[in-house]
Structure 1
Amino acid sequence: MSDILEPVPPVVSTEPPPPEKKPRRWGRYILYVLATLGVLAIVLVGAAFYKANQGPVLVKIDEAASIDESMTRNYGKYSAERKGWMYVDQNNQPFLVRVVQQARIEAVGASDELYFVTSGIPLSGEATGFYGVFQIRSDGKGGDGLVEISDPVRELYEVPLKPENVHFEALSETLWGWVIKVQSGLEPKHDRVTVSNVVLAPHGESIAELAKFRAAADADPGKDCAQANAEYAEWEKLVERYTKRSPDATDEEVAAGAEAVQHQPVRCEHARWTYATAPVNGPFPGPLTVTAKGSQYGAPMEPKRWKLMFDNKAFVYNVPEELMYEDQYGEEE
């Protein structure tokens, strides 16, 4: 029988245990910060993408409210009794101002644009009036703000504008403007009456005059055209003698000459210059085609046609001298 072995007791170390290692917490903080920054970056990129896809705010214009605000600011209070705005100019002359043309342009994917023309009728009995031109559009700052481009009191004319005197035209793909007919002289049986076309359009922060050219001329001397021409020739001779008078001319001669100059006789006239705009094609206005017809001084006018080309740098049409504005006395501007 074999010997029974005694169990061997475990060896117990008398060395102290090594110190327990603490976890490095600053590493976690870095991970948290990086994760937070990543989330913020994703949010910012998403917001920018959303805003880019939303596009700018497209402004829709309330015509009635915008016109009323602009008219009140530029001219004064509205008179329900007179159905217009009451304006007093720098000379303390009262005018009744009304809107004679308005149009709101609604383009796909773009903000509205509002255009309107006003006519100031004198209340003092004087035969003078003015007109104003206005554009209201987005201020381009991305919100719903509006800006006004205008010329509220533009020139004085004997005949106030009426709606039929204003033509609103598309001059290019990006430019709308007005062709306004202004009149000098009142009655063809008493005076020579001329009408001119004034082409206006917004340009930058102002209203630009693109052209001014003849539209019509009428005169009825109430007598045979040949006789009227003969009387006009005599008048020209009298005026020439007056302008070339000698220093020792009598007071009676000077007075007679001065009186003659003030009473220019009229000759038979019924002339028309019609215009046509070019088809809209591109960002700049195309040419205006002007055609002459009718009669002057008892004889038919020679048919003629002009093309008024647009100067993009100067932002004007090139108008030949023979078409330039002419008032009732035949004086050009």
Structure 2
Amino acid sequence: MSDLIEPGITEATPVLTPPPPKRRKWGRYVLYTLAVLGVLMIALLVAAVIKANSEPQLIKIDEAASIDEAMTRTYGKYSAEKKGWVYVDESNEPFLVRVIQQARIEAVGASDELFFAASGVSLKGNGRNFYGVFQIRPDTKPGGGLVEISSAFRYESDVPVTPEKVRFEALSERTWGWVLKVQTGTRPVSEQVMVSNVMLAPHGEEIALLARFKASVDAEPGDCAQANADHETWRKAVEAMGGQEQASTEPAAQEAETMDDTEPMRCEHSRWTYRTADVVGPQPGPLTVSVKGTQYGAPLEAKTWKLMFDSKAFVYNIPEELTVE
């Protein structure tokens, strides 16, 4: 019988094989995480490169080096002996040019801007003078370096423009400018000596003239009453000459022009002061101008003007009373 077990023979015990251990999935998760982080790092690097290439780099200006380069390029070599730059004009006249004002504007998150003014005096001692103003700023074009905006030769003053005759101030949130005192005439006993305020500022790719108005007038002909009488006699003669204008001959017309050029002086000692507005916006605010002194031997009536800025023309509107002739 098949179900009978023979003596001495035991039934074989079945061998059970344990199931293979389950693989843990955390290793796969680590690999996924590292891959994602790698992609993010590459994306961040690409974004940083794009941003760096699209945004202008902030530039810090070396003040001394930039001024020296601009002055040498414009006026010629620096003379250590004369302590200035020696410029020779078209007529071969030498001038000694020096920097009379400089200011570097630093702003958070913005590149530097450099402003300076120069004054040139003839080495021949003939009274010829000029002045110039400069702005050095970063180029707005991508990859650009520094650009210069300047008006380097302004022959407007009979006396040199010195440091105390220059004011540099903020006119708006975007505009800095110079106010320079420029003088015509030197001897008040024989001619009218007038000082005018000349306001200049960079505008686009040029230096703009924002305003020119009176700062002071001096004339000392002697006795003020006699000077007034002489002027009245001259005025009547000019009126009489004008009444004959239509029938006048060429010599008479020339005589009338000569009389216009020989107007007698009258006593004057006038002073105009100005004040800029607080900086509150992108456009320059109004200027407040006041006058005091004497004119023609009598006290001037106190008066104040408010000069408004024309943003389209980029100039101040100057009333006739303040206009420099």
Q: TM-score category by the smaller chain?
A: 0.7 to 0.9
Check the 8 A contact 1:57/1:144 in 2, yes or no: no
The residue that corresponds to 1:178 in the other structure is 178
Q: Does 1:188 align with 2:202?
A: no
After TM superposition, the score normalised by the length of structure 2 is: 0.80
Q: Does 1:69 align with 2:82?
A: no
Distance 2:138 2:195 in 1: 35
The residue that corresponds to 1:26 in the other structure is none
Distance 1:176 1:49 in 2: 34
The residue that corresponds to 1:320 in the other structure is 319
Distance 2:60 2:122 in 1: 34
What is the letter of the counterpart of residue 316 of structure 2? Y
3-state SS in 2 of match to 1:168: strand
Distance 1:176 1:50 in 2: 34
The residue that corresponds to 2:24 in the other structure is none
Q: How does 1:179-328 map to 2 (within 5 A)?
A: 179-223=179-223, 225-240=224-239, 244=244, 262-326=261-325
Across the aligned residues of Structure 1 and Structure 2, the Cα RMSD in angstroms comes to 3.0
- The C-alpha deviation readout for 1:23-75, integer Å capped at 9, x for no partner, is xxxxxxxxxxxxx9x96785144331477499743211111111110000001
- 156 and 50 in structure 1: CA distance in 2 versus 1, 3 angstrom threshold: same
Offset at residue 227 of structure 1 (A): 0.8
Check the 8 A contact 2:156/2:182 in 1, yes or no: no
Q: How does 1:107-126 map to 2 (within 5 A)?
A: 107-126=107-126
Distance 2:187 2:249 in 1: 39
3-state SS in 1 of match to 2:109: coil
Check the 8 A contact 1:59/1:144 in 2, yes or no: no
Distance 2:66 2:39 in 1: 43
What is the letter of the counterpart of residue 297 of structure 2? G
3-state SS in 1 of match to 2:236: helix
- 284 and 270 in structure 1: CA distance in 2 versus 1, 3 angstrom threshold: same
Identity of aligned residues (%): 60
The residue that corresponds to 2:146 in the other structure is 146
3-state SS in 2 of match to 1:201: strand
Distance 1:91 1:216 in 2: 33
What is the letter of the counterpart of residue 161 of structure 2? L
The residue that corresponds to 2:133 in the other structure is 133
Offset at residue 89 of structure 1 (A): 1.9
Offset at residue 232 of structure 1 (A): 1.6
Check the 8 A contact 2:211/2:318 in 1, yes or no: yes
After TM superposition, the score normalised by the length of structure 1 is: 0.78
- 109 and 269 in structure 1: CA distance in 2 versus 1, 3 angstrom threshold: same
Check the 8 A contact 1:242/1:258 in 2, yes or no: no
3-state SS in 2 of match to 1:158: coil
Distance 1:56 1:262 in 2: 57
- 292 and 72 in structure 1: CA distance in 2 versus 1, 3 angstrom threshold: same
Check the 8 A contact 1:238/1:257 in 2, yes or no: no
Check the 8 A contact 1:58/1:144 in 2, yes or no: no
Distance 2:278 2:200 in 1: 18
Distance 1:256 1:317 in 2: 38
Distance 1:96 1:213 in 2: 28
Q: Does 1:162 align with 2:162?
A: yes
- 109 and 304 in structure 1: CA distance in 2 versus 1, 3 angstrom threshold: same
Distance 1:139 1:169 in 2: 23
Number of aligned residue pairs: give it: 292
- 247 and 39 in structure 1: CA distance in 2 versus 1, 3 angstrom threshold: same
Distance 2:77 2:289 in 1: 41
- The C-alpha deviation readout for 1:182-221, integer Å capped at 9, x for no partner, is 1111121221101111111001111111111111100011
Distance 1:305 1:89 in 2: 42
Offset at residue 237 of structure 1 (A): 3.5
Distance 2:227 2:306 in 1: 33
The residue that corresponds to 1:86 in the other structure is 86
Deviates more, 1:313-322 or 1:140-149: 140-149
Distance 1:262 1:207 in 2: 33
Long gaps (5+) in structure 1 = 3-35, 327-333
3-state SS in 1 of match to 2:270: strand
Offset at residue 240 of structure 1 (A): 4.7
Q: How does 1:15-30 map to 2 (within 5 A)?
A: none
3-state SS in 2 of match to 1:325: coil
Distance 2:43 2:90 in 1: 56
What is the letter of the counterpart of residue 273 of structure 2? T
Distance 1:151 1:257 in 2: 38
Long gaps (5+) in structure 2 = 3-34
Check the 8 A contact 1:151/1:207 in 2, yes or no: yes
- The C-alpha deviation readout for 1:164-186, integer Å capped at 9, x for no partner, is 11110110112100111111111
3-state SS in 2 of match to 1:156: coil
The residue that corresponds to 1:9 in the other structure is none
Distance 1:109 1:254 in 2: 65
